[in-house]
């Protein structure tokens, strides 16, 4: 099985202060820690497991700044066979449609059976790049996938629905799948492992190499145009309980008791 | 007059709640932008759903065909390509759910009509449609405009609009299902329950919920011990289940369980909408998080900015002393 996995380098913003740039068109990146998008980590693991079971090779790809190389090396250390980067300059500010155009060009360079993407990117959270890419390729797709079984030229996948329900879908190959967290337990990557792939060549492709013409992608070609970023309005905030942990704990217990939650 | 379509989401015989939130948005756009709202019901034997929707919007379009029994991108997209081409709605809205995520973005790419996904608001901005999205873990809002195209799509985050109440009697109109292609490339094979387990978090009056802030598997017993002392049932956010530290039956949220406890005490949970959407009812919500900007404080009634382990220890100590 030839598998292409699309990965994105994203900042960890769950546990960090996020500040706007003065121009209001982006966030300050200086103090943030970056790494592989959580959903993509599961996608890479799943691709490697499919390869281990059914043979073939795994290629990881990203469209991003030079720093994204670290993310690709991490994927190589996990067991991906090849990594490729698309030169970001012409994609700067591209919306998911532009990114998907680039990834589609890349997917056409080889006879892939499967393209995996994350269900969602933790930064912009569109959750659309995978299915849009499938549309450009004209391949069937399934989103929010939580298991994959290969059945010859077909696969059976579980799609996560709401409320602990899944649906089973048979999908013909080649196909695009977006991977949901929890599908597997991604393997641990050691510093040693990363060191081993230090010298592996990671080609950087130009838009022309993937059949994307000048001006076809990037900010000016976007279907979605940013009108700017802002911090959310204060709105209905919680009543903050202040004081030493012991005082706060007492307040919490009082509330629990008052509200009939027992304790 | 230009139209706004609401794609009706239904599964296994019932209309999903999120549909009625989209109805509210459609009505708002009727007032703000003069768009004419219509519900679009696609499925097999869905006449009763159309009847229901007719009580909410002035028009309901039904596409009823045995081939549409279970939702699939391929079959629904074939219907919608045909319908959208004929009726040229200005905007098509759907819930940002497993249904909306599977269907809408790709359809938008195929039709070259831009789609803003996971919107918390859609409205008019200087005479044009604009969407608000919540990005970077709910810490930043982004406003988006659409590049000029014949029409647009938006998927709407659960809980962004209140579900609509019925109002009036609308017209119901059938639209024929287009002829199927020679072969389909996907096939629906059935459903599977994944959240069954011994613990039922939906009935507990007191839930102690832990998130990624619990950090390590070895801290789980500590949380369980506190839950036991409190007389609470231990619940969690998704990452705790993804890491297999607790069973799926304990997960609160859109893809887990919906709970309605008297008290919900959340420790180390950031407050993603997929989590918050699973907490319902009039109970009180207390959140402990060391990040004062965590979005969970916009959903909770009471908040504590503190290391959750200090609170766990302090609670354990108080309860031990009793
Ligand atoms: C289709 C779909 C369905 C989903 N369904 C669900 C669902 O049903 N339920 C669900 O929960 N999620 C669901 N998610 C995932 C959701 O988007 C979030 O990723 C998830 O809820 C985050 O969990 P968390 O808050 O525990 O972790 P994080 O977002 O990583 O937050 C951890 C928080 O802990 C705080 N923290 C860290 N250490 C400490 C400490 N020592 N003391 C105090 N605070 C600390 C941090 O400040 C941070 O705010 C779904 C996602 C998708 C795409
Ligand atoms: N710049 C990028 N390079 C490679 N893959 C990407 C990029 N942006 C998004 N993706 C893929 O698309 C998925 C969903 O992203 P999004 O649609 O932005 O939520 C991610 O998990 C990645 O797999």
| Burial class of A81 by CB neighbour count within 10 A (0 to 12, 13 to 18, 19+) | middle
Reference A3, options A49, A42, A56, A52; nearest CA is A56
Q: Is residue B88 domain-resident?
A: yes
Distance of CA A73 to the CA centre of its chain: 16
- Given pLDDT bands bounded at 50, 70 and 90, which one contains residue B1? confident
Same domain, B157 and B265: no
Ligand 2 pocket test target in A88, A129, A136, A207 with most atoms within 8 Å of CB: A129
Reference B30, options B123, B168, B121, B95; nearest CA is B123
* Contact assignment for A161 to B141 by CB distance below 8 Å: no
Q: Write the DSSP symbol of residue B155.
A: E
* Contact assignment for A255 to B315 by CB distance below 8 Å: no
Write out the residue range of the structural domain in which residue B251 sits: 201-319
| Beta strands in B111-231, from DSSP E residues, in sequence order | 115-125, 128-135, 140-146, 152-156, 171-174, 186-193, 206-210
Number of Cβ within 10 Å of residue B281's Cβ equals 11
Does residue A30 come out as left (phi exceeding 0), alpha (psi in the -120 to 50 range) or beta?
Answer: alpha
Report the nearest atom of ligand 1 relative to the CA of B271: 25
Q: Is residue A252 domain-resident?
A: no
Contact B170, B55 (CB under 8 A): yes
Same domain, B170 and B254: no
Lowest-confidence segment of A145-159, A206-220, B284-298 by average pLDDT: A206-220
Rounded Cα–Cα distance for residues A19 and A12 (Å)? 13
Rounded Cα–Cα distance for residues B24 and A201 (Å)? 53
Query: What integer pLDDT is reported at residue A108 of this predicted model?
Result: 97
Q: Is residue B58 domain-resident?
A: yes
Q: Is residue A169 domain-resident?
A: yes
Tell me: pLDDT of A205 over 70. yes
Give the Å distances, CA to CA, from A165 to A161, B192, B196.
Answer: 5, 6, 10
Tell me: pLDDT of B322 over 70. no
Residue B35 sits in a domain whose CATH number is 3.40.50.620
Q: Is residue A151 domain-resident?
A: yes
Q: Is residue A248 domain-resident?
A: no
Q: Is residue A71 domain-resident?
A: yes
Q: Is residue B190 domain-resident?
A: no
**What is the 3-state secondary structure of B220-281?**
HHHHHHHHHHHCCEEEECHHHHHCCCCCHHHEECCCCECECCCEEEEECCCCCHHHHCCECC
Complex ipTM value: 0.97
Rounded Cα–Cα distance for residues B273 and A56 (Å)? 39
Q: Is residue A91 domain-resident?
A: yes
Rounded Cα–Cα distance for residues A1 and A93 (Å)? 33
Query: What integer pLDDT is reported at residue A263 of this predicted model?
Result: 62
Whether the predicted model's global pTM rises above the 0.95 cut: yes
Q: Is residue B196 domain-resident?
A: no
pLDDT, tens digit (0-9, with 9 covering 90-100), for A76-106: 999 999 999 998 898 999 999 999 999 999 9
Q: Is residue B188 domain-resident?
A: no
Query: What integer pLDDT is reported at residue B197 of this predicted model?
Result: 84
Residue with tokens 């094979």, as numbered in its chain: B189
pLDDT, tens digit (0-9, with 9 covering 90-100), for A14-23: 989 999 999 8
Closest Cα in chain B, distance from residue A18 (Å)? 7
Residue with tokens 């978090």, as numbered in its chain: B201
Tell me: pLDDT of B316 over 90. yes
Does any ligand 1 atom lie closer than 6 A to the CB of residue B212?
Answer: yes
Q: Is residue B299 domain-resident?
A: yes
Task: Count structural domains, chain B.
Answer: 2
Write out the residue range of the structural domain in which residue A185 sits: 2-221
Same domain, B146 and B214: no
Average pLDDT over residues B13-34: 97
Query: What integer pLDDT is reported at residue A261 of this predicted model?
Result: 66
Task: Count structural domains, chain A.
Answer: 1
| Residues near ligand 2 (Cβ within 6 A) | A 6-8, 37, 39-40, 62-64, 96, 99, 117-118, 120-121, 124-130
Mean confidence (pLDDT) of chain B: 96
Q: Is residue A198 domain-resident?
A: yes
Residue A130 sits in a domain whose CATH number is 3.40.50.620
Same domain, B279 and B234: yes
Q: Return phi, psi of residue B5, to 5°.
A: -95, 140
Residue B312 sits in a domain whose CATH number is 3.40.50.1220
How far does the centroid of ligand 1 lie from the alpha carbon of residue B279, in Å? 14
Q: Is residue B182 domain-resident?
A: no
Same domain, B165 and B212: no
């Amino acid at each position: 099985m030839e598998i292409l996995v699309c990965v994105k380098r994203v900042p960890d913003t769950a546990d960090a202060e996020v500040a706007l740039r003065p121009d209001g068109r982006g966030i300050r990146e200086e103090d943030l820690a970056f790494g592989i998008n959580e959903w993509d980590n599961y996608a890479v693991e799943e691709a490697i497991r499919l390869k281990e079971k059914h043979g073939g090779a795994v290629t990881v790809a990203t469209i991003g700044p030079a720093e994204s190389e670290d993310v690709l090396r991490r994927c190589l250390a996990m067991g991906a066979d090849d990594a490729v980067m698309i030169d970001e300059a012409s994609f700067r500010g591209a919306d998911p449609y532009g990114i998907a155009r680039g990834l589609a060009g890349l997917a056409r360079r080889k006879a892939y059976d499967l393209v995996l993407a994350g269900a969602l990117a933790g930064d912009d959270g569109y959750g659309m790049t995978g299915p849009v890419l499938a549309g450009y390729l004209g391949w069937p797709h399934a989103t929010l996938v939580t298991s994959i079984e290969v059945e010859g030229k077909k696969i059976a996948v579980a799609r996560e629905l709401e409320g602990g329900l899944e649906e089973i879908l048979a999908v013909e190959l080649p196909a695009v799948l977006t991977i949901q967290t929890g599908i597997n337990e991604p393997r641990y990557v050691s510093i040693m492992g990363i060191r081993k792939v230090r010298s592996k060549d990671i080609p950087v492709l130009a838009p022309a190499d993937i059949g994307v013409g000048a001006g076809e992608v990037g900010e000016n070609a976007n279907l979605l145009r940013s009108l700017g970023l802002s911090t959310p309005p204060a709105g209905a905030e919680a009543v903050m309980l202040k004081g030493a942990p012991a005082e706060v704990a007492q307040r919490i217990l009082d509330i629990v008791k008052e509200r009939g939650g027992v304790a | 007059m230009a139209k706004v379509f609401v794609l009706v989401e239904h599964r296994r015989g019932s209309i999903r709640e999120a549909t009625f939130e989209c109805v509210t948005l459609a009505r708002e756009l009727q007032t703000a932008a003069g768009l004419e709202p219509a519900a679009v019901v696609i499925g097999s034997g869905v006449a009763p759903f159309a009847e229901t929707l007719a009580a909410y919007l002035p028009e309901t379009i039904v596409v009823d065909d045995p081939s549409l029994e279970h939702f699939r991108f391929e079959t629904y997209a074939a219907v919608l390509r045909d319908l959208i081409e004929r009726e040229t709605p200005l905007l098509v809205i759907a819930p940002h759910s497993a249904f909306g995520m599977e269907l809408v973005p790709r359809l938008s790419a195929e039709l070259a009509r831009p789609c803003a996904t996971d919107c918390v608001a859609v409205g008019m901005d200087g005479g044009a449609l604009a969407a608000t999205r919540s990005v970077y873990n709910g810490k930043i809002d982004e406003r988006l405009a659409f590049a000029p195209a014949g029409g647009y799509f938006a998927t709407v985050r659960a809980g962004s609009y209140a579900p609509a109440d019925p109002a009036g009697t609308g017209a119901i109109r059938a639209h024929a299902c287009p002829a199927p292609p020679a072969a389909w490339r996907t096939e629906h094979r059935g459903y599977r329950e994944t959240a069954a387990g011994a613990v039922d978090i939906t009935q507990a009056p007191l839930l102690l919920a832990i998130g990624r802030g619990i950090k390590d598997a070895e801290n789980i017993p500590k949380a369980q011990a506190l839950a036991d002392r409190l007389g609470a049932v231990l619940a969690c956010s998704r990452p705790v289940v993804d890491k297999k530290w607790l069973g799926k039956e304990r997960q609160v949220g859109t893809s887990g369980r919906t709970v309605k406890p008297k008290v919900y005490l959340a420790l180390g949970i950031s407050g993603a909408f997929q989590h918050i959407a699973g907490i319902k009812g009039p109970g009180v919500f207390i959140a402990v998080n060391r990040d004062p900007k965590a979005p969970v404080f916009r959903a909770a009634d009471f908040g504590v900015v503190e290391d959750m382990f200090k609170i766990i220890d302090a609670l354990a100590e108080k309860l031990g002393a009793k």
